[in-house]
Amino acid sequence: MGKGIANPLATVSAVAMMLDHLGEQEAAQRVDNAVAKCLEQRTVLTVDLGGTASTSEMGDEAARLIREG
Rounded to an integer, what distance in angstroms lies between the CA atom of residue 58 and that of residue 29?
Answer: 19
Q: What is the pLDDT of residue 1?
A: 78
Sign (positive/negative) of CA torsion 51, 54, 60, 66? positive
- How many other CB atoms sit within 10 Å of the CB of residue 4? 12
Which residues, other chains included, contact 32 with Cβ-Cβ below 8 Å and sequence gap of 6+? 13, 16
Rounded to an integer, what distance in angstroms lies between the CA atom of residue 27 and that of residue 40?
Answer: 20
Q: What is the pLDDT of residue 61?
A: 98
- Residue type at 33 in one-letter notation: N
pLDDT mean values, one per 10 residues, the chain (69 residues): 93 98 99 98 96 98 96
